[in-house]
Structure 1
Amino acid sequence: MRNYHISKHNSFYAIGLSYKKADAEVRGKFSLDVPAIDHILSKAKGMGIDGLLAISTCNRTELYGFAQHPYQLIKLLCEETKGTVEEFQEVAYVYKNHDAISHIFKVGTGLDSQILGDFEIISQIKQGFYRAKKQEMANPFLERLCNSVIQASKRIKNETELSSGATSVAFASVKYILDNVDDISNKNILLFGTGKIGRNTCENLVKHSNNSHITLINRTREKAEDVAGKFQLTVKDYGDLQSEIRKADILVVATGAQLPTVSKALVYTKKPLLILDLSVPKNVSDDVKELENVTLVHLDQLSQITDETLAKRKEFIPKAEAIIEKVRKDFLKWLETRKFAPVINALKDKLNTMKTEEIDFQTKKIEGFDQIQAEIISDRIIQKITKQFANHLKSNEVDTEDSLELIQKVFQLELHSK
């Protein structure tokens, strides 16, 4: 495997964990907020890591970057989160070079999402790239790679039906409520927190249940009023949480805290209460399950709700993969050219200098020497020689770095850096 070098000894790695092997609790330990991502980027810069992208969603946390060894990236992640290296190793994946490039394409196009075709992740990649650029950690490789992934994602959206139909976690939570709660229009629903999934659940509930008994509570009242305004919902103060839970039939928790925001002590109910925890890490204490009348369902269980929509989406996987392959090949082509273009250009310059010297010499030496014909033949030979070298460098069997070094040595090339 060849190095996708920025510096000679660095390879491109993707390290991370996702819903596939890590449950919500473990994912919660490794989740990164914006200040943590910025801190990782500035630390990496100090370590001499050239180019780093960090993404963290409720389903995955990943770092993509250039390092001498993947452990450099793993250490950065573990030092900045509550997770340990041992915990990481139990659920993690590490991809290198080609495999790392393929992985980011799969992730960014919704093929690796917990719900197939979920394109939420592409905005996270855009956001991650924006942060990297701000911290001067987005090199030309990462910029081109992210743009290629965005391009593939757009094409899949436009040319396939991979993301058709509603199968978001928010939709799954509403489906769960509709399937498990009778007479939903007369139930009291309390939404605690204004996280994205919570807001979407709220919107879906309003659509599907004609329910006007929805109350919204958030630590910051303005945010709650902002969301409530759209759907004409009731807003209560954070201090009213306990009394509002007492009245509720359904509690949807969509807070974004690192520790549980709903504890056993907070819940007092004499009637059945369904609690949906749509937060990562979990924001409802597990011991709430011990209470009579209470049913607690977490995001991970909801995400397993599959329906015909998902089966239909699967039909479009081959078409999506073909689009990815085309865009990925174009990216790799650019990468290869970018890597050896300076050497091939320097070689062409060297051969042209030899040609000019030789033609000058022969013009003086041979009477009636046809300079135009000599130029045509020489140019064609130079073209063929450089093409031969370029093809050699493109070959998978070749160590590109060693070959580039050898060509520079043999022809005593001077590379002009831009």
Structure 2
Amino acid sequence: MKAYNISKHNSFYVVGLSYKKADAEVRGKFSLGDQAQDSLLKQAHSSGIDGLMVISTCNRTELYGFAQHPYQLIQLLCGNTNGTVEEFQSVGYVYKNNHAISHIFKVGTGLDSQILGDFEIISQLKQGFLKSRSNEIANPFLERLINSVIQASKRIKNETEISSGATSVAFASVQYILARVPDISNKNIVLFGTGKIGRNTCENLVKHTDNDHIVLINRTKDRAEKVAGKFNLLVKTYEQLQEEIAKADVLIVATGSQRPTVNKDLIHTDKDLLILDLSIPKNVDDNVEDLANVTLVHLDRLSQITDETLKRREKFIPKAEKIIEEVENDFRQWLETRKFAPTIKALKKKLKNMKDAEIDFQRKKIDGFNEEQAEVLSNRIIQKITTHFANHLRESPNSSDESLELIKKVFQLENNK
């Protein structure tokens, strides 16, 4: 398949790793927080990279951008995380040009999600693009690509039932709790942190457990009160965390930290305690499992739900893929047009110069020469000629490179970037 390059010297790459080959611990090493993302984008901009976008979620970290070689992007990723090049080589992937474009469509439409049809990723792609734009490293290619992926995502949501039914990590968390903790409405539940999955889990808990005394703790109390008001939760201060854990039957951790925020030193209770760690990287230290009364369950385990809802969703994959193919083809056509636009522009300029010279010559030679009519007539002819060339290039994508070179040679056009 022919490569689609925006620049003559660079290719478009996706460099990343996901839940498919990298476990939670490895994904945690390559996780990029907001500050790390900004730092990476600034470094890329100063090194002359034209167009780069980053996403880092529970299930994947990916860079989408232009480079002479993918190693440039791999170095940026490893230089701003705790992951090494050797670790990346064992679990990471690199896609180039067409394959990179197809991959981002699969990611953004939920077909590559750990839970099929999970569309939370699309908002993260939007945020990733906005961050690139604010760091002045977004280009028209990335903007058009992300908008196309958003369009495909919306169509799949509206035209298929691939996201129907209640299934998400948050839902799986609640199902896990309901199945293992009897009389949940009377149990003590503590939510530590206000990460998105944690908030969604809390909302599901309120809906499905009839528990009216769920406690929310966050390092920033104002943020906790904001979330608590929405879900009717009790707010306690960060200083009361150890005290509340001692009373808890269920502890949900969604702190979004780069290192563990809960370890066995915080736990002083003999009662059975179920801990759900909904964070990447892990926010609960594995040493809590040294305590006989503690059961620790991580996000990855909750993500691996295979229920009837997911089986039903699989039936809509072919229709979703057909929608992606349509939108992706539209994007490729735009890209192809963009590739030859500079040549058409140069051709139009060349014809206009020829026209201006000829009109100037005829004005001096012919008495009463109607310059206005000659301008209108000539401009219409130029428009028709360039339109014919543009249509030919659009309709013959397999030979467009040869046609472009021929046009440049015949009309002696300068090379345009």
TM-score in terms of structure 2 length = 0.89
Conserved in 2, the CA contact under 8 Å of 1:42 and 1:135?
yes
Residue 222 in 1 paired to residue 222 in 2?
yes
1:88 partner letter: F
Following the alignment from structure 1 to structure 2, what is the Cα–Cα distance between the partners of residues 345 and 405? 14
- Find 1:394's aligned residue among 394, 397, 404: 397
| Shift, 1:76, TM fit | 0.4
Following the alignment from structure 2 to structure 1, what is the Cα–Cα distance between the partners of residues 166 and 348? 56
Following the alignment from structure 2 to structure 1, what is the Cα–Cα distance between the partners of residues 283 and 136? 35
Following the alignment from structure 1 to structure 2, what is the Cα–Cα distance between the partners of residues 382 and 414? 19
| Shift, 1:351, TM fit | 7.0
State which drifts further: 384-393 or 254-263.
Answer: 384-393
Task: Report the equivalent of 2:61.
Answer: 61
- Assess, with a 3 A threshold, how the Cα gap between structure 1 residues 309 and 351 changes in structure 2: closer, same or farther: same
| Shift, 1:341, TM fit | 2.5
| Shift, 1:414, TM fit | 4.2
Following the alignment from structure 1 to structure 2, what is the Cα–Cα distance between the partners of residues 326 and 229? 44
Residue 271 in 1 paired to residue 274 in 2?
no
| Shift, 1:292, TM fit | 0.8
- Assess, with a 3 A threshold, how the Cα gap between structure 1 residues 330 and 218 changes in structure 2: closer, same or farther: same
Deviations 1:13-71 (A, max 9, x none): 00001111111111111111222111111111111111001111111110000100000
Residue 129 in 1 paired to residue 132 in 2?
no
What's the secondary structure of 1:297's corresponding residue? Answer: strand
Residue 327 in 1 paired to residue 330 in 2?
no
| Shift, 1:138, TM fit | 1.1
2:184 partner letter: I
Following the alignment from structure 1 to structure 2, what is the Cα–Cα distance between the partners of residues 343 and 198? 53
Task: Report the equivalent of 1:77.
Answer: 77
| Shift, 1:321, TM fit | 0.8
Residue 306 in 1 paired to residue 306 in 2?
yes
TM-score in terms of structure 1 length = 0.88
What's the secondary structure of 1:216's corresponding residue? Answer: strand
Q: Which runs of 5+ in 1 are unaligned?
A: 365-374
Conserved in 1, the CA contact under 8 Å of 2:189 and 2:248?
yes
Following the alignment from structure 1 to structure 2, what is the Cα–Cα distance between the partners of residues 220 and 388? 59
Conserved in 1, the CA contact under 8 Å of 2:31 and 2:61?
yes
What's the secondary structure of 2:48's corresponding residue? Answer: coil
Following the alignment from structure 2 to structure 1, what is the Cα–Cα distance between the partners of residues 206 and 318? 36
Task: Report the equivalent of 2:375.
Answer: none
| Shift, 1:135, TM fit | 1.6
| Shift, 1:83, TM fit | 0.6
Following the alignment from structure 1 to structure 2, what is the Cα–Cα distance between the partners of residues 380 and 392? 18
Task: Report the equivalent of 1:367.
Answer: none
Conserved in 2, the CA contact under 8 Å of 1:36 and 1:80?
yes
Deviations 1:146-181 (A, max 9, x none): 110111111111111111111111110000001111
Q: Which runs of 5+ in 2 are unaligned?
A: 366-377
1:324 partner letter: I
Task: Report the equivalent of 2:370.
Answer: none
What's the secondary structure of 2:255's corresponding residue? Answer: coil
| Shift, 1:406, TM fit | 5.1
| Shift, 1:217, TM fit | 1.1
Pairing 1:130-279 to 2, within 5 Å after superposition: 130-279=130-279
1:394 partner letter: P
Conserved in 2, the CA contact under 8 Å of 1:253 and 1:279?
yes
Following the alignment from structure 1 to structure 2, what is the Cα–Cα distance between the partners of residues 182 and 126? 41
Conserved in 1, the CA contact under 8 Å of 2:344 and 2:386?
no
Conserved in 2, the CA contact under 8 Å of 1:4 and 1:10?
no
Conserved in 2, the CA contact under 8 Å of 1:107 and 1:113?
yes
Conserved in 1, the CA contact under 8 Å of 2:393 and 2:403?
no
- Assess, with a 3 A threshold, how the Cα gap between structure 1 residues 226 and 352 changes in structure 2: closer, same or farther: closer
Conserved in 1, the CA contact under 8 Å of 2:347 and 2:386?
no
Following the alignment from structure 1 to structure 2, what is the Cα–Cα distance between the partners of residues 383 and 128? 38
Aligned length: 402
Conserved in 2, the CA contact under 8 Å of 1:54 and 1:62?
yes
Following the alignment from structure 1 to structure 2, what is the Cα–Cα distance between the partners of residues 80 and 94? 18
| Shift, 1:352, TM fit | 8.6
Identical amino acids, percent of aligned pairs: 70
1:197 partner letter: I
What's the secondary structure of 2:49's corresponding residue? Answer: coil
What's the secondary structure of 1:213's corresponding residue? Answer: coil
Conserved in 2, the CA contact under 8 Å of 1:2 and 1:399?
no
1:117 partner letter: G
Residue 281 in 1 paired to residue 286 in 2?
no
- Assess, with a 3 A threshold, how the Cα gap between structure 1 residues 214 and 55 changes in structure 2: closer, same or farther: same
What's the secondary structure of 1:301's corresponding residue? Answer: helix
Conserved in 1, the CA contact under 8 Å of 2:333 and 2:394?
no
Following the alignment from structure 1 to structure 2, what is the Cα–Cα distance between the partners of residues 388 and 208? 59
Conserved in 1, the CA contact under 8 Å of 2:117 and 2:162?
yes
Task: Report the equivalent of 1:369.
Answer: none
| Shift, 1:226, TM fit | 1.5
